[in-house]
Amino acid sequence: MFDIKRIKNWKYAGDVLGFAVCTVAGYLLSGTSVGGVSTFADISAAGAVSLPSAVAVFTGSFVHSIISGTVGKNIVKLSALALIVIIKMFLEPRSEPKLNGINTGISVFVSGAAVSAVIGELPYKLLFYLFYGGIAGFAAYSAAIVLYGLRKKRVADISGKGGFSCAVVYIVTIASLCAVKLPALDLGVIAGAAATLTASYFYGQTGGVLCGTLTVGGAFLSSSSAGTEIVLLPVAGLLAGFFNKQRPQTSAVLFTVIYFVMTVFTGLSVNSAESIMNIICAALIFIPVSGRFSDKWISTGTEPAAVFPDVINTRMSFLSDTFRELRCESERISDILADGSDNDREIAENSEAVCSMCYRRPFCWKSDRGNTYRGFSKLSEMCEFSRESFPSELSDCLHKDELLDAFNRSSHEKAAAKLMEMRFSESRSLLHEQMKITEELIRAAGERLDVRCSETVSRSIRAKLCKFGFEPTAVIAYYNARDRLLAEVYFSADNAPESSRRICDLIADELHLQLDCTEFVRSGNEVRIRVFEKPAYSMEVYAASSCAENESANGDTHTAFTDGAGIGYVVLSDGMGTGRNASAESHMVVGLFKRLTASGVNFESAIKLINSIMITKSSEESFATLDVLRIDLDECVLTVVKSGAAATLIRHRGGVMKITAPTFPIGIYERSEIFTRVCEFEAGDIVIMFSDGISENAYPFIKELLLGGDDIRHIVSEICSKAEVFNPTIHADDVTVIGVKVNK
């Protein structure tokens, strides 16, 4: 008995299925004709696909020619297919749509010219094969553009240039399918009618008319009778588009009835029974397909216009630049004021106070001004004042004691003023840092997201939730750059559901997808939940901790979460000291980081903002380390972020790497220091992060554990239990060890 699940998980299953599909396509298309001429669909298909698929198309066509005994008749086609395969062997590493089209056209022309030269028909067949090769090459070029979009962007763009390519491929496909002979049924008509009904249901009247017209055009290319048989299809698609809000079954019945009524009223009798039978088959195909259809794979160019996001981006950038200019100007003025010297003012005030009544003043400040000024300058720079340290330049002064007292008083005043200036300088630095954070947040908010919104999915989610008594204030569904579906559902705080999992299950049931969700994120009077298709990788996290002796609370705090957009975070913070105060500080840092990043704030800006909060939250000194693992679960990219944290050990490809960062913890300095490093990472790699309670003496032991197994639970438990053994100090610290493993 076959193990279906094992076959699906086989890494070559997709390649084998693709080869089989291309072989069947080559077999079916080999014996068809368009307009009385052998179809070029199989040649164009071979030219558009990759080398293995081209070999499959050639194999199917060759097998069909042998079975039907038409090898001689199809010698030009088979030669062209063989030549395409040979050329692809050299072009495959840099294959692109233009090269595919040129390869196909040249192969057809060269094969046709060679065969014609052998049988003596070269002069009058050369022009025909030039035209035939040009058409086949253009079709291959169009198909390659469509396949390139599906392969690279995972979406078929049916607008603009991509839409034209899709139309060419669609017409050729319908024409080729119409040429496939089946008793009483026409594959081309069935496929075209099903596509028309689908387009009218999901894209309204416009979709129905366009798809129906292209279907009729493809049928006429096959034969005039096939085209005449479904000439009313665009009209049926137009009228069915008015009922696209109905259930799929209702739309299918209405489409069939509309087509039947128009056939009767117009008096079309060309194979009317077969035509109605084809429409019925198309409607039966549409009903199950409609439940699985997703605009995930199709871009119509009708998504929200690009102009409005560009306007928002420009305005946000302008506002961010304004904040930067204000910050730079404020810093410049502060530096100028801070550089201003008070020595001249001090000398002038003390000279006025002591020398104003002295009869020697004219001599000292006019005749001997330079010497007197140097003496006063030395007094202004002195820290201790006594007759022994009195400047020699003022040895003839009659008021030495008065000068010493005056400069002593002004020295105390300068010290107090300097202290105040230091405090103001710290406040200015903190203000400038907060302005810089605001500047970064504004710029980040204006960045254009690489997403495709889906109004269809948004409406479907809203309808499903309303049906079960949930009233969202907004639903935004979109596909990200990796083509995963994400949906952001907003509720008012007074009307928020109790469980995010319930919302996720309802949406998953509506969309027939396996979905996951984040926790609720609250902001003012609104609550948001993000539902998403699971990314390619997942995090396995295990943590163990212990308190310092004689302490009831652990000063370390840790958490692991995902933001719902494909980024996973593991966060560890070690508060200053031990006990409840340290726990409160680390808990504040971790909680703020999670809330800010889950709300969409860039992790670097979030850390800077947390640093400002920690500095200004109280007059008492308080700080905490911050250690963050940021993992892109779509691409398996690891970013290590540290602020005063202990080392991190990473096992990668049979080796262990240690990452350290000489940075200050959060809350010590107004300008936060953030260390970031992007590391190579793969599925199966393990990261160990820990607090300061783990001594460096334990690193060889941890390395041995990492290289000896994959069980992170065992590794983390062993490190935590042996922490005291490797700690050389008398007073033990709080210990927290976290192991992270990424699985595909």
CATH number for the domain harbouring residue 509: 3.30.200
> From the CB of residue 338, how many other CB atoms can be counted at a distance below 10 Å?
11
Choosing from 446, 466, 501, the residue where a domain stops is: 446
Percent of the chain, pLDDT > 90? 4
Choosing from 477, 511, 533, the residue where a domain stops is: 533
Alpha-carbon distance of 541 to 92, in angstroms, equals: 42
Q: Are 349 and 315 in contact (CB under 8 A)?
A: no
Least confident of 38-52, 210-224, 656-670, 717-731: 717-731
pLDDT at 306: 47
pLDDT at 310: 58
Q: Are residues 77 and 87 in the same domain?
A: yes
Label residue 63 exposed, middle or buried (CB < 10 Å: 0-12, 13-18, 19+).
middle
> From the CB of residue 352, how many other CB atoms can be counted at a distance below 10 Å?
10
pLDDT at 321: 65
Q: Are residues 155 and 61 in the same domain?
A: yes
pLDDT in tens, 462-511: 999 999 989 998 888 888 878 888 898 999 888 888 888 999 999 999 88
- pLDDT bracket for residue 340 (50, 70, 90): very low
Q: Are residues 287 and 319 in the same domain?
A: no
Higher pLDDT, 405 or 540: 540
Label residue 498 exposed, middle or buried (CB < 10 Å: 0-12, 13-18, 19+).
exposed
pLDDT in tens, 346-355: 778 778 888 8
Q: Are residues 85 and 192 in the same domain?
A: no
The answer as to whether 303 is a domain residue is no
Q: Are residues 596 and 637 in the same domain?
A: yes
Q: Are 738 and 713 in contact (CB under 8 A)?
A: no
- Look up tokens 């703020």; give the residue: 592
Two tokens at 362?
A: 């004219």
Tell me the pLDDT of the chain averaged across its residues.
79
Q: Are 27 and 41 in contact (CB under 8 A)?
A: no
pLDDT in tens, 143-198: 888 887 777 767 777 777 777 888 888 888 888 888 776 777 888 888 888 988 88
pLDDT at 111: 84
Q: Are 533 and 541 in contact (CB under 8 A)?
A: no
Q: Are residues 392 and 487 in the same domain?
A: no
Q: Are residues 571 and 695 in the same domain?
A: yes
Q: Are residues 682 and 556 in the same domain?
A: yes
Q: Give me the mean pLDDT over the 649-676 stretch.
A: 83
> From the CB of residue 291, how many other CB atoms can be counted at a distance below 10 Å?
9
β-partners of residue 532 are 486, 516
The answer as to whether 551 is a domain residue is yes
Q: Are residues 95 and 115 in the same domain?
A: yes
Least confident of 85-89, 551-555, 733-737: 551-555
The answer as to whether 391 is a domain residue is yes
The answer as to whether 7 is a domain residue is no
Domain hosting 629: range is 538-743
- Look up tokens 């009385």; give the residue: 36
The answer as to whether 299 is a domain residue is no
pLDDT at 506: 92
Most distant pair of Cα atoms in the chain: their distance:
133
Name the E strands within 64-105: none
Q: Give me the mean pLDDT over the 226-242 stretch.
A: 84
Q: Give me the mean pLDDT over the 724-734 stretch.
A: 67
Q: Are residues 424 and 393 in the same domain?
A: yes
pLDDT at 640: 92
Q: Are residues 104 and 209 in the same domain?
A: no
Q: Give me the mean pLDDT over the 278-292 stretch.
A: 86
The answer as to whether 302 is a domain residue is no
Q: At residue 229, does pLDDT exceed 90?
A: no
Cα dist. 218→41, 176, 196, 214, 400 in Å? 12, 8, 13, 6, 111
The total of structural domains in the chain comes to: 5
Choosing from 164, 180, 196, the residue where a domain stops is: 180
Q: At residue 537, does pLDDT exceed 50?
A: yes
pLDDT at 186: 82
The answer as to whether 678 is a domain residue is yes
- pLDDT bracket for residue 46 (50, 70, 90): confident
Alpha-carbon distance of 130 to 136, in angstroms, equals: 10
Q: At residue 592, does pLDDT exceed 80?
A: yes
Alpha-carbon distance of 551 to 548, in angstroms, equals: 6
pLDDT in tens, 448-475: 667 788 888 888 899 999 999 899 988 8
Q: Are residues 318 and 261 in the same domain?
A: no
Higher pLDDT, 153 or 302: 153
**What is residue 494's DSSP assignment?**
G
